[in-house]
A and B are shown apart, each in its own frame.
Chain A
Amino acid sequence: MGKFQFLLRCMFRRKLRTTLTMLSLITAFLLFMLLRSIAFVFDAGWEGVDEGRLQTQSKYSMIEMLPLTHIDQIANVAGVGIVTHSSWFGGVFQEGDTNVATFAVDPETYFDVYSEFEVDAEQLEEFRSIRTAALAPEPMIERYGWEIGQKVPVISPIYPTPSGEPWVFDLVGSYSSGNESDGFQAFLFQHEYLRETFDMGVAGWFVITIDDPSRSDEISAEIDKLFANSPDETRTMTESEAAKQFMAQLGDISLMMTGILSSVFFTMVLLTANTMIQGYRERTSELAVMKTLGFTDLGVATYLLLESVLLCAISAVIGIGLGSMIASSAQDFMPPFVPIYFAWQTVLWAGCIALGLGLLVGLVPAISAIRLSIVDALHRH
């Protein structure tokens, strides 16, 4: 019997109690992984967002549209490369249950601005030439079991067709965002189709490439200055900043998640500490015997601390493992509006919490063990 084996034997002296405590901890760590994976996106914006891109939107609200005529003026600002536009369409593929990000975009410039997106040249050409053409990301095509060439009916609560029928798009191809875990999975179609139908000369926002990302503040100010005091004032910022602002509109998700997780782990501290203290009380005489045999005060306390750390560590490993598996594949099963991003930082945090929790709940029994008088404990026994 080695020291580790001895530790395990002591930890599982009450198998049911230890198992139930571990199940609670596993659930807590699983929850942590999932909630933090959601909160991560809200904290960080989308991973891989290019700091060399700016986004111009209405100064007052994201839902205010901007005239397409702004594009030429923006393109003339020094340092600006390509300007494209995009509009929120709010698509529902199968009535009622499948909200999917759907954007009306400029097919000529969109993939030049989002150069990291990969799209087949022939399919891109079709996308540009067919008015009703649409492109979808590969995971979305897989998810709905579509085939290239088929027609996709889409309902838009923002832009219902005059006839009340769904919009019908020709799925001409797919594109890959280059980073599937970034949460960006949008169904794209030609803005021209929307423009013709509603005779509108506006777009939701502009996306602009710039030559020098270090000048983003300066260029943003320059663009906004162009439209100051006009009926369509703008607000320009880096794309990552825009993503964060968009997330923030949903509320301080990160704070909510932190609140929930704090409550969960506070409960876990109480529950696990209770298990450890009960365990300590049950074997006071055994600890006294260990001391009698020559285990030092610190040695016995270390055993108790390691026991609680081990309890939390085993639970954390299982919880983190399950959570990681779910978080890394959950996006396929979640609506795109609930982005989940599995990050190693989350695992690291969970590991630190497990260690801290283990030390915290083991502290009281460990200190009690140091103070335990052999004579008194054996006398009571």
Chain B
Amino acid sequence: MALISLRSVSKTYTKGREQVDVLSDIDLDINERDFVALMGPSGSGKTTMLNLIGGLDHPTYGEVVVGDSSLNSLSSRELSRWRAQNIGFVFQFYNLLPVLTAQRNVELPLLLTKLKGRERKKNAATALDIVGLADRAKHKPAELSGGQQQRVAIARAIVADPQILVCDEPTGDLDRNTAEEVLQLLETLNQKHNKTIVMVTHDPKAAEHAKTTVFLDKGKLSSTSDPEQSELVNG
């Protein structure tokens, strides 16, 4: 059974008097432990689709189901709680809080849990260790390289042990070698830590690390590397 299901999902934005259809009638299933790369040209709706999967936005039509939860039916408050428990986010520009050290940035999502201070610290240290940055725990983001900042962001995404990682162009701001390191890390998280990963990228090299690649064009699924999904894509 699919972990993430998009059924007849459409998303329309209103810009002034104009209606912009960003996604049209999308059907997609993503299985548990899958590593999906969402590809497509700019404006094809990749990030919008990622936002819907991550519970950051609601579809105009259709339904997004993740695990047992239909995201459409959740209130803003419930959706916040759901995100805290189920989703880890990785952004292109890392989005770390500049006033906090790496350790404290990673600890941030744990403030929403009932863990005690010592346990929060321990879990954050473990997450930093997984991404290979235990020795940079006391550094602030400005004292870290882009690749290190992104690894801290990944540590923050996995510290609450969510089932799904949602990554929006995680290597978009990194050089080739550093990007490769980050992608290797995501692959490890997928294979060894059983994280289901949905990654938006426009880089075919990055997509090679994924198990499945889904192509979007003008708000519609155009093709997929997963034979099981082909039927959905082609109707």
Besides A13-B98, A296-B80, 7 more A-B contacts (Cβ < 8 Å) are A1-B100, A1-B111, A9-B104, A292-B54, A292-B89, A297-B80, A375-B57
Which residues of A have CB within 8 Å of B107?
Answer: 1
Whether B109 sits at the interface, judged by CB under 8 Å, is: yes
Whether A338 sits at the interface, judged by CB under 8 Å, is: no
A-B contact pairs, 30 of them (CB 8 A): A1-B104, A1-B108, A1-B121, A2-B111, A2-B117, A6-B100, A6-B104, A9-B104, A10-B99, A286-B95, A286-B97, A289-B89, A289-B97, A292-B56, A293-B89, A293-B108, A293-B109, A293-B112, A294-B80, A294-B81, A294-B109, A295-B112, A296-B80, A298-B77, A374-B51, A374-B56, A374-B57, A375-B57, A378-B91, A381-B93
Binary flags per residue of A11-23, CB closer than 8 Å to B gives 1, else 0: 0110000000000
With A and B bound together, what is the CA distance between A293 and B103 in angstroms? 16
Distance in Å from the Cβ of B52 to the closest Cβ of chain A?
10
Which residues of B have CB within 8 Å of A13?
Answer: 98-99
- Structural contact, A375 and B99, CB atoms closer than 8 A: no
With A and B bound together, what is the CA distance between A297 and B79 in angstroms? 11
Distance in Å from the Cβ of A282 to the closest Cβ of chain B?
10
Whether B85 sits at the interface, judged by CB under 8 Å, is: yes
Distance in Å from the Cβ of B164 to the closest Cβ of chain A?
13
Distance in Å from the Cβ of B38 to the closest Cβ of chain A?
16
Whether A3 sits at the interface, judged by CB under 8 Å, is: yes
Distance in Å from the Cβ of A11 to the closest Cβ of chain B?
9
Whether A322 sits at the interface, judged by CB under 8 Å, is: no
Identify A296's interface contact among B76, B93, B104, B117, CB under 8 A.
B76
- Structural contact, B83 and A292, CB atoms closer than 8 A: yes
Distance in Å from the Cβ of A248 to the closest Cβ of chain B?
53
Chain B residues with CB under 8 Å of chain A are: 51, 54, 56-57, 76-77, 80-81, 83-85, 89, 91, 93, 95, 97-100, 103-104, 107-109, 111-112, 117, 120-121, 156
- Structural contact, B77 and A9, CB atoms closer than 8 A: no
With A and B bound together, what is the CA distance between A2 and B107 in angstroms? 9
Chain A minimum-CB-distance residue to B82: A294
With A and B bound together, what is the CA distance between A286 and B91 in angstroms? 12
Lowest 10 CB-CB distances: which A-B pairs, in order?
A: A294-B84, A296-B80, A1-B104, A13-B99, A289-B95, A293-B109, A294-B83, A9-B99, A374-B56, A294-B112
Identify B83's interface contact among A6, A293, A378, CB under 8 A.
A293
- Structural contact, A285 and B95, CB atoms closer than 8 A: yes
With A and B bound together, what is the CA distance between A200 and B95 in angstroms? 88
Whether A290 sits at the interface, judged by CB under 8 Å, is: yes
Whether A36 sits at the interface, judged by CB under 8 Å, is: no
Chain B minimum-CB-distance residue to A293: B109
Which residues of B have CB within 8 Å of A285?
Answer: 95
With A1-B104, A374-B56 as given contacts, are A296 and B77 in contact (CB-CB < 8 Å)? yes
Binary flags per residue of A91-124, CB closer than 8 Å to B gives 1, else 0: 0000000000000000000000000000000000
- Structural contact, B51 and A294, CB atoms closer than 8 A: no
Interface residue total, chain A, C-beta cutoff 8 A:
25
Whether A191 sits at the interface, judged by CB under 8 Å, is: no
Distance in Å from the Cβ of A304 to the closest Cβ of chain B?
14
Whether A291 sits at the interface, judged by CB under 8 Å, is: yes
Chain A minimum-CB-distance residue to B52: A375
Identify A294's interface contact among B85, B98, B100, B121, CB under 8 A.
B85
Binary flags per residue of A346-381, CB closer than 8 Å to B gives 1, else 0: 000000000000000000000000000011001001
Chain A minimum-CB-distance residue to B47: A379
Chain A minimum-CB-distance residue to B88: A293
Distance in Å from the Cβ of B81 to the closest Cβ of chain A?
6
Which residues of A have CB within 8 Å of B120?
Answer: 1
With A and B bound together, what is the CA distance between A299 and B103 in angstroms? 22
Identify A290's interface contact among B81, B98, B108, CB under 8 A.
B108
Binary flags per residue of A285-322, CB closer than 8 Å to B gives 1, else 0: 11001111111111100000000000000000000000
Identify A297's interface contact among B76, B81, B85, CB under 8 A.
B76
With A and B bound together, what is the CA distance between A293 and B51 in angstroms? 13
Identify A375's interface contact among B51, B81, B89, CB under 8 A.
B51
Chain A minimum-CB-distance residue to B112: A294
Which residues of A have CB within 8 Å of B108?
Answer: 1, 6, 290, 293
With A and B bound together, what is the CA distance between A10 and B111 in angstroms? 15
Chain B minimum-CB-distance residue to A381: B93
With A and B bound together, what is the CA distance between A294 and B109 in angstroms? 7
- Structural contact, A375 and B56, CB atoms closer than 8 A: yes
Chain A minimum-CB-distance residue to B56: A374
Which residues of A have CB within 8 Å of B89?
Answer: 289, 292-293
With A and B bound together, what is the CA distance between A13 and B81 in angstroms? 27
Which residues of B have CB within 8 Å of A293?
Answer: 83-84, 89, 108-109, 112, 156
- Structural contact, B111 and A6, CB atoms closer than 8 A: yes
Which residues of B have CB within 8 Å of A378?
Answer: 91, 95
Distance in Å from the Cβ of A333 to the closest Cβ of chain B?
43
Which residues of A have CB within 8 Å of B100?
Answer: 1, 6, 9
